[in-house]
Copies of this chain bind each other. A is one copy, B any other.
Amino acid sequence: MNEGEKMLKVSIIGASGYTGGELIRLLLTHNQVEIVDITSRQYDGEAVYKVHQNIRDSNLFFTGKTPSEIDADLVFTATPHGASMKIVPELIERGIKVIDLSGDYRFNDTSIYEKWYGMKNDSDLKATYGLPEIYRKEIKKSNLIANPGCFPTGAILSSYPLIKEELVDRIIIDAKTGVSGAGIKPSDSTHYPNIADNVNPYKISTHRHMAEIQQELNGFDDVKVSFTPHLVPVIRGIQTTSHSILKEENIDSSELKKIYEKTYENEPFVKLLNKDETPHLSSIRGSNYIHIGGYDIDETGRIIMLSAIDNLVKGASGQAIQNMNIINNFNEDDGLKAIGLNP
């Protein structure tokens, strides 16, 4: 940044989880922001490295401050579903911009939220769904971003061109996710002997991210959306395979690829692979990129599209920072320049 420019003051509410840790890791490499407060009731007063052992070169300490004590230009709420909606209104009222990483503000219709998240939601705040590749213009003007879910990010970006062009009438999303998506707290479903050398399908027709994917895709065309996630022995990353059924078999693989190229031609974080490549988690690990490939059509009229993201970066904290950059007219890749860690 140039001399005299003021640093953006940002705070993170709920900074002791994985998305909080990632926000800190990435923001520390950002040239135009200054981290003010990182909150954690549990770790109030502790150095950040007590929880995030990788972060040793900052002087950051967790604080137990309440949201009303937080001072910042922009706040990331890395709080659980249900907690965000209790915090965000006050921040917005105080003129602080908010990027919320929970599901609380992702739904246009709160009754859908209530059905899938099993809790009341009578917020009347209007948030912008923070998927820059679709809503960049709206994000620029927004003061409240609902940062997308991890599965929806990979699923929507890899199928949006198909749906927008009204090519298919059904899409079945079969996703494979790393374990960090389940958070920093141990449970049976993160217990190493249950995960390693294994594949665990779960919530095979009832995952709440399906509702989010449906809302977004059905905004562009009336398409049947199905979603089945699997937990695989991976730390970070979501690999998405979508199987879509062509309405009419009047398109070939090359035309399909061109539609994707057109849609994403100016997108800094979307990389379209060649037809002879498939996306690998190792190519995007730790980075904000999404790799998209496939463009394949089999003889039954099924289109196969593939994508790979890091669930904690493009699927959460990286995308949140991308949204912050857009809102503040920073370079969209500031703090997000890291290339995927391969191998």
Q: Which residues of the other chain, B, contact A297 by a CB distance below 8 angstroms?
A: 205
Interface string of A178-220 (1 = CB under 8 A from B): 1110001011101111111111111011000000000000000
Stretch at the interface among A37-45, A94-102, A139-147, A228-236: A228-236
Is the CB of A106 closer than 8 A to any CB of chain B?
no
Asked if residues A199 and B300 are in contact (CB atoms below 8 Å), the reply is no
Determine whether the beta carbon of B224 is less than 8 Å from that of A300: yes
A340 within 8 A of B: yes
Residue of B nearest to A25 (CB): B339
Whose C-beta in chain B lies nearest to the C-beta of A271?
A: B56
Give the contact stretch, choosing among A64-72, A279-287, A314-322: A279-287
Given the contacts A52-B342, A172-B243, A196 and B226 also touching, CB distance less than 8 Å: no
Residue of B nearest to A284 (CB): B54
Instruction: Tell me if A57 is interfacial: C-beta within 8 Å of chain B.
Output: yes
Instruction: Find the residue from A197, A287, A301 having the highest chain B CB count within 10 A.
Output: A197
The answer to whether B341 touches A174, judged by C-beta atoms less than 8 angstroms apart, is no
Shortest C-beta distance, A7 to chain B (Å), equals 17
B residues in contact with A294, CB < 8 Å: 201, 204
**Is A323 among interface residues, defined by CB-CB distance under 8 A?**
no
Q: In the complex, what residue of chain B is closest to A281 when comparing beta carbons?
A: B198
Q: Are B286 and A286 in contact (CB under 8 A)?
A: yes
Cβ contacts under 8 Å, A53 to chain B: 277, 280, 282-283, 342
Cβ-defined contact, B234 with A197, below 8 A? yes
Write the nearest CB–CB distance from A32 to chain B, whole angstroms. Answer: 15
Q: Which of A299-343 contact B (CB under 8 A)?
A: 300-302, 304, 306, 308, 337-343
Is there a chain B Cβ closer than 8 Å to A121's Cβ? Answer: no
Chain B residues closer than 8 Å to A233, beta-carbon distance: 192, 196-197, 232-234
- Stoichiometry, as copies per complex, reads 4
Q: How far is the CB of A107 from chain B (nearest CB, A)?
A: 18
Q: Is A257 an interface residue (CB 8 A)?
A: no
Is residue A138 contacting chain B, with contact meaning CB distance below 8 A? no
Is there an interface contact between A289 and B243, defined as CB atoms closer than 8 Å? no
Number of A interface residues, CB 8 Å? 83
Contacts of A204 in B (CB 8 A): 241, 278, 294, 296, 304, 306
A343 touches B56 (CB 8 A): no
**In the bound complex, what is the Cα–Cα distance between A280 and B338 (angstroms)?**
22
In the complex, the answer to whether A200 meets B343 with C-beta atoms within 8 Å is no
B283 touches A339 (CB 8 A): no
Instruction: Knowing that A235-B343, A338-B338 touch, tell me 19 more A-B residue pairs with CB under 8 angstroms.
Output: A29-B338, A53-B280, A54-B283, A54-B285, A54-B340, A56-B283, A57-B339, A174-B174, A186-B188, A190-B192, A191-B192, A192-B192, A192-B196, A192-B235, A199-B280, A201-B241, A201-B294, A232-B233, A233-B233
A-B contact pairs, 15 of them (CB 8 A): A29-B337, A29-B338, A29-B339, A53-B277, A53-B282, A54-B283, A56-B271, A176-B232, A179-B193, A180-B343, A197-B234, A199-B281, A204-B294, A205-B298, A224-B301
